[in-house]
Structure formats: structure tokens, C-alpha cells
Structure 1
Amino acid sequence: MSSCPENENAPPTRLEGKFQALVVCCFLGLGSLVAWNSMLTIADYYYQVFPDYHPSRVLTLVYQPFACATIAILAYYEAKINTRKRNIFGYALYTVSTFLLIVLDLATKGQGGVIPYVLLCLIVASFGLADAHVQGGMVGDLSFMCPEFIQSFMGGLGISGALTSCLRLMTKAIFDKSPNGLRKGALLFLAISTLIELLCIFLYAYVFPKLPIVKYYRAKAAAEGAKTVSADLMAAGLQDKAAQVAELDQSKIQRRSNKQLLRENIDHGINLYLVYVVTLSIFPGFLYENTGEHQLGTWYPLVLVAAYNCWDTVSRYIPMIKCLALESRKWLTVCVLARFALVPAFYFTAKYADQGWMIFLTSFLGLTNGYLTVCILSAAPKGYNGPESNALGNLLVGFLLGGIFSGVCLDWLWLIPSKTAF
């Protein structure tokens, strides 16, 4: 992945707009997960509406196959895909799907049943399609720019969880005693998420491509043979650069194949996969259904989810301090494998310990998840050209989503010894 130009060696225009780009990347990261995190955070409402259907587990399981299948297809054809259209489509699909959740709830008046649940699952499936378009497209797009852009985007992903958790605690406090309080809080959540997705469409389509530093990196990628940036160059007013891309003889451009990139970065891919296998085998299903009842009552799962999301957010910014960033491939692998100890730790904590220990353990789960995610994506070998970096970003996101899907499937194993198992 590319590195940012040094101040003393770079023309001022190459650094102009860097701060604005970091802010926009953070918002785009927020938008790429805020809708789904809202779904996870209002799971207590869906447990009230669909008490017999394991919403937190089923909805996550519905979401992931569509995300994994879509990212596999997009990663295979990434060199031929218009990244601008891909990302705008993803954010637009998020916007429409989130709005449809509001329409579904209003149409059914918050009543449960099989048909509303099936419709809910179909909308969640569209979230999976949107996630694969946005997350793979954005990581691939940012991979040939500054590593700080990737970190900011990943930080936005974490902020989406922390923001939704904090808002959920506030709405529960406000509406807890009012009639249909859970439903009012859920609808407010979905309305906020819809507005954020609309903002992301505007930021990506009209603001981000016109920032000078973004223009520089995309023009550089175009000179290296990246056809995926042509539409963004046109949107930024660089028609001459876009025309040069069309005239390039792709057969004469030297670039590694996806197989070569995968072979050179297989440890990063597997590490990302294993990080999310562990995380999603615990979060959110185990936290909602297998932690028992404690003094916090109905607040307990919300506090656990908030603890995870807040520490996940904080940890994503730790690698920005260079002395705290873990770059060694060997030690990244050691830390990822050591994380498997969290599985028995959660089992015994839920069975024998009190809520304080569970909150601490959940916080540590979030802390390690965010930190390792950013370190792995930032530590991916440098020195690739634009098209290679884009392809590598898509491949790594494919491993990430694959890990989420596997973790979601493994999460069902917690129900085997449970009285509520089916």
C-alpha cells in the first residue's frame, strides 16, 4: 500500500486537503456500518417483537452469505469495475434498505409474525450486498493512498458502533417508561441511520473526489494502469487523465495477479479471518442470549454491546501512534492466535463470574478486535502500484467478511448446552 508523501519532499498541492480527506474517510467508514450497527443495537426491540426467532443470531446469519458471495464476485472482477458507481450504489442501497425498515415497522405497526420476519430478513440480506460493495470498494480505493486514510476509514467503522450504542442507551433512558418506548427508540435510530447514509452519498460523490490529495493519488493510480478510477477522475474534472487511462495498453502494464497477491499476503488474510471468527462467535449473539440475568436487568446486554463498541472504536486509533502500532507479521499472528483464549474465558465468566468481569472481558474483546484489524490492514506490504493495491484491499476485505460469516455460524454452538436450544 502507498505511503503519504513527506512534507519536505512533496509539492504543497500533494498534501492539500489531507485533513479534509481524513474527516471524509471517517464519515464514509461511519456510513458503511452505521445501518447494520443500528440493527444490532436495537436487537432488544426485535427480541420483543420476534421472541422465538433468535433475531441477533438469525439476522447476522442472513446478512453474511450475501456479503461474502458478493465480495467474492467483486474481488474477482475488481479490475474491470467502476469503483465510483460501486461505492455510490452501496451507499444508496444502504439508504433505501434502512428506510424500508422504517416502512416495514410502520406498515406492520410493530407486530411480529412470520411474514414480517421474512421481510425483515430480505432487507437485512440487502445490507449484506451493500456492505460488500462499500467496504471492499472503499478499502480497495484507499489502499493506494495514505495508510492514514485506511486508519481513518476503519476508525469510522468503530465510531458507528460506539455512536449507535451511546444513542441506544440515551433513547432507552428517555423512552424506557413511555408506551412503546423500545419501538420509538428503534425508529429514531433507523431515521438517523438513513440521514447518515444520504450524507455519505453526497460526500463520496461530490466532496471526496475533488480534494487535491485524492486527485493526486487517483491520477497516479491511473498512470499505473488503474481503470477503476476513470469515473472519479472525470468527476474531479480531470478528463485528460481519464482519457489517458482509456488509451493505455493494458497488456503492457506489469501487475501481479490476484493469485500472486494472495500468496504474498496469505498470512494477513488468514489473520483477518481469524480475528473475526473469534469476535463474531461471541458478539452479538452470546452477549444477548447466553450471559444470564444480572443486576442491570434489561440494560445488561446494551451495556455489554456499548462496552465492546466503545473500546473497538478507541483501539482503531491506537495504531496512529507509530510507537504503538504492531507491524511485525510474526507478532500479529501470535496475537491473533492468542485471542482464541477468549472463547473459554467468556464461557467460564458467564457461568461463574459477575457482570463486572463480563463487562471487562467484552471491553477487551472490542479492544483487540479494532486494534488488530487496523494493524493488519496497515501492515500489508508496501510497494504495490495502484491496481495491485486495489486488488489487495478487496482480497483482504473478502477474508474479513469470510471470518465474520464463519464466526456467526460458530455462534450457534453456544445454544447446544442451553435450555433454549432447538
Structure 2
Amino acid sequence: MAINYENGAPVKLEGKYAAMIVCWLLGNGCLFSWNSMLTIEDYYVKLFPRYHPSRVLTLVYQPFALGTLAILAYNEAKINTRQRNLFGYIIFFISSLMVLILDLATSGKGGIGTFIGICAISGAFGVADAHVQGGMIGDLSFMLPVFIQSFLAGLAASGALTSALRLITKAAFDNSKDGLRKGAILFFAISAFFELLCVLLYGFVFPKLPIVKYYRSKAASEGSKTVSADLAAGGIYAQPQEVEENPKQLERLSNKELFFQNIDYALDMFLIYVLTLSIFPGFLSEDTGSHSLGAWYALVLIAMYNVWDLIGRYIPLLKCIKLESRKGLMIAILSRFLLVPAFYFTAKYGDQGWMIMLTSFLGLTNGYLTVCVLTSAPKGYKGPEQNALGNILVLFLLGGIFAGVTLDWLWLIGKGW
């Protein structure tokens, strides 16, 4: 479809709601495999009781994600976005399949060899996440903010869906022989199928939507060199003529300039996730004590976090309660650190009801603040700059996650190994 411009506004923007649905599914696929691995921690804790899998797997995942994204963000202006995102989703699919194959090949037995294999797959998930999360948020940053919101909601939904599936499979196989493993195998199979679906959605559906074609053409007219393959996939082979007539449009701020103009947003992303990951999932999986829910307790906590994280990502759709003030965001994010002593004393003295409430609040604020920051930051920039800023913010998000999972080990002080 030819894209027409009238005073900088699109003539036709069909496909907005279809694009929102696809963005939601692609966001879901970005973390579905990883959340599947996190959600079956009860299986891995039983399989590898001496290796702290809930902490180690996250700690292995993050350096690969952070290191890969740092390289990709630095070279963002030269990278083919289509190839980057497709490569990431394909790695997700292959790695999910490998988790299933490894479990079947070892007949569900533990041991250091199997654990190393699981850790290697966890690292592959990190590489895939860096390709997809940074690439998609950068790509969506020069489109409508609601697309970013849908993608981020999909990220949270992956956690809620995997938690719901885990509770269902645990209930279904709880009394059967080797029930934990049967539930895990079902998880791996569903995860691999869903990642294959995401490859097909991004490769053949998303680039053909008229509204997506329009915004990618607009980004190309502003000097973006990362969208050409996606434009071709959508049936557009020539950039708009305005580029040749006004070459000054090709000028853009450097990554360094973008970073210093948005350093508060970058710190926001880092601080949101350094707190969240210092508590979730390691502390919730291993350090909350024994309660009447027994083996279900950690699963319920993780499920509550994921559900409220998802709810929190939809709250900013209500404009009246969306926080957009830069100072207000920083104050709210710093205030969340009061949750650290709250979790400590609740784990030590409180009952499971208080812990469930705190975990729900952790998820709610995580989702809400993430969407507020990522939908507010890209405003006022050209397409290539918005893409670069999206990558920078996701880099700080992953940096916060890495710092958080490292700090999570501090909860073990005084408890022995």
C-alpha cells in the first residue's frame, strides 16, 4: 500500500487494533520461555537442590542479556531491525525446544551436567531477550505509545499466563507419579509452540499492517536506516521523496546526547528493576518460610506478582492517573525502596496474607511505573532518535535486573548455603 502524507499526518491508519493485539502477543513471546523456566522453579529446586536454581539461572541469564544489548544499542543505527527481531524469536524457539529435548534425553535426572546444560540455555534466552526486547521497544518507540503499552502488557501477561498454567498443571499432576516433571514437560512444549507463533507473527503479519507501514515509512523519511527490510516485507521498496529534498532531516542526536537528555528516565528504569529483581523471584522462592499453603506458597506468590504486574501495565491507559511528571516518577520509584525492610520484617514476623499483599504491590508498581516511563520518554524526537532512546532505556532496564539478581544473594547472608 502506498503511504500518503498530509501535513505530517497519515491519510489512513487502518490496523491499529490488530497491531495492538500483535504487539501484545509479541511481548508475551519475548518473556514466555524465560517465565516458563522461572515458573517451574519448584521442579528445578527438587532436581538441583544444592545449586540454588532460582538464583543461579537468573544470574546466568542477565550477563548475556545485558552484554548483548550493550553491543546492539551501541550499533543500533546500523542494525537491520527485522533481522534482529526475527533472530531473537528464532533463538527463543530453538532454546525452548532444547529445554524439552534436554529433559527427555536425561529422563528428568539431575546432576551437574544437566544443570550446566540448563544454564547454557538460560544464557541463550538472555541473548534472545536482548535482541527482541530492545529491538521491539526501539521499533515501537516511533509508532503510537499504545503499541509500547501493549507490548509491555504482553511481557507481563507472559508471567501471569505461565503462573496460571503452572498452577493448573501442578493441580492436574499433583497426585500422579512424577507429576512435577510431567507438568514441566507440558510447559516446555507450550513454550516452544508459542515462540514459533511469534516468529510467524513478526515475520509475516506485523509488517503488512497499514499503520505499521506508515510509521516505518515516516521513520525512513526522518533518516532511519534500520527499517528498510521491514518496509520491503510490507510491500514498500522506496523511501518517501522528502528525504532527497531535505537532507537535513537525516541529522540526529547521538546516543550520548540522547542519554544525557534523558538520564533521569534511564535511572528510573534501572531503579525500578534493581528493586524488583532483588526480591523476585529468588527471595520469594526460597526465603519466605513455611506456611499453610506448603508447596503451593512460592507458586502463589509468583502468580500474584505476575497478575498485579499485568494489571499495573493497563492502569496508565486511564489518562487521569497516568504519572508523566519526571520528578513525580523519580519520587515514586525511590519510595518503592521502602519495600525492602517491609519484605524483611514480613518474612520474619508476618503471616502469608501480608506477604501476598506485599508481593502484589511489588508487581502493581513495577508494571505501572515501567509503562509510565517508557511511554513518556520517547516524545519530541524523530524516529531514529526514538529508536535509539528505546534501546538505551531497555539497556538500563536490563542493567537494573542484573544488579537486582546480584543483590538478591544478600538475602542469604547468615542463612548458610
Same fold? TM cut 0.5 = yes
Consecutive unaligned residues of structure 1, counting only runs of 5 or more, are 1-7
Given that 1:319 and 1:374 are in contact with CA atoms closer than 8 Å, whether structure 2 keeps it comes out as yes
1:253 is displaced (CA, Å) by 2.0
Match of 1:209 in 2: 207
Match of 2:312 in 1: 315
> Percent identical across equivalent pairs?
66
Q: Deviations over 1:292-320 (max 9, x none)?
A: 10000000000000000000001100001
Match of 2:164 in 1: 166
Match of 2:407 among 391, 410, 417: 410
Match of 1:289 among 286, 304, 308: 286
Q: Deviations over 1:205-225 (max 9, x none)?
A: 110001000000000000111
Q: State the alpha-carbon separation in 2 of the partners of residues 139 and 12 from structure 1.
A: 22
Q: State the alpha-carbon separation in 2 of the partners of residues 155 and 14 from structure 1.
A: 26
Counterpart residue identity of residue 183, structure 1: R
Counterpart residue identity of residue 371, structure 2: V
Given that 2:378 and 2:390 are in contact with CA atoms closer than 8 Å, whether structure 1 keeps it comes out as no
Counterpart residue identity of residue 367, structure 1: L
1:31 is displaced (CA, Å) by 0.2
Q: Describe the shift of the 1:85–1:113 C-alpha distance in structure 2 as closer, same or farther (beyond 3 A).
A: same
Q: How does 1:324-363 map to 2 (within 5 A)?
A: 324-363=321-360
Q: Deviations over 1:316-373 (max 9, x none)?
A: 0000111111000001000000000001100000000000000000000000000000
1:383 is displaced (CA, Å) by 1.4
Counterpart residue identity of residue 253, structure 2: R
Q: Deviations over 1:129-172 (max 9, x none)?
A: 00000000000000000000000000000100000001101011
Q: TM-score, normalised by structure 1?
A: 0.95
Any idea what SS the aligned residue of 2:143 has? Answer: coil
Any idea what SS the aligned residue of 1:15 has? Answer: coil
Counterpart residue identity of residue 383, structure 1: G
Q: State the alpha-carbon separation in 1 of the partners of residues 138 and 228 from structure 2.
A: 15
Counterpart residue identity of residue 238, structure 2: D
Of the structure 1 ranges 69-78 and 187-196, higher mean CA displacement relative to structure 2 is found in: 187-196
Q: How does 1:369-384 map to 2 (within 5 A)?
A: 369-384=366-381
Of the structure 1 ranges 375-384 and 224-233, higher mean CA displacement relative to structure 2 is found in: 375-384
Q: Describe the shift of the 1:10–1:251 C-alpha distance in structure 2 as closer, same or farther (beyond 3 A).
A: closer
Q: How does 1:104-123 map to 2 (within 5 A)?
A: 104-123=102-121
Match of 2:261 among 244, 261, 264: 264
Given that 1:332 and 1:372 are in contact with CA atoms closer than 8 Å, whether structure 2 keeps it comes out as yes
Q: Deviations over 1:16-44 (max 9, x none)?
A: 10000000000000000000000100000
1:190 is displaced (CA, Å) by 1.1
Counterpart residue identity of residue 239, structure 1: Y
Q: Describe the shift of the 1:15–1:9 C-alpha distance in structure 2 as closer, same or farther (beyond 3 A).
A: farther
Given that 2:88 and 2:129 are in contact with CA atoms closer than 8 Å, whether structure 1 keeps it comes out as yes
Given that 1:231 and 1:242 are in contact with CA atoms closer than 8 Å, whether structure 2 keeps it comes out as no
1:241 is displaced (CA, Å) by 2.5
Given that 2:206 and 2:212 are in contact with CA atoms closer than 8 Å, whether structure 1 keeps it comes out as yes
Q: How does 1:123-202 map to 2 (within 5 A)?
A: 123-202=121-200
Q: State the alpha-carbon separation in 2 of the partners of residues 13 and 118 from structure 1.
A: 54
Given that 2:160 and 2:307 are in contact with CA atoms closer than 8 Å, whether structure 1 keeps it comes out as yes
Q: Describe the shift of the 1:413–1:236 C-alpha distance in structure 2 as closer, same or farther (beyond 3 A).
A: same
Q: State the alpha-carbon separation in 1 of the partners of residues 121 and 257 from structure 2.
A: 37
Any idea what SS the aligned residue of 2:290 has? Answer: coil
1:93 has 2:91 as partner: yes
Match of 1:80 among 78, 81, 89: 78
1:10 is displaced (CA, Å) by 9.0
Match of 1:304 in 2: 301
Q: Describe the shift of the 1:274–1:12 C-alpha distance in structure 2 as closer, same or farther (beyond 3 A).
A: closer
Match of 1:4 in 2: none
Consecutive unaligned residues of structure 2, counting only runs of 5 or more, are 1-5
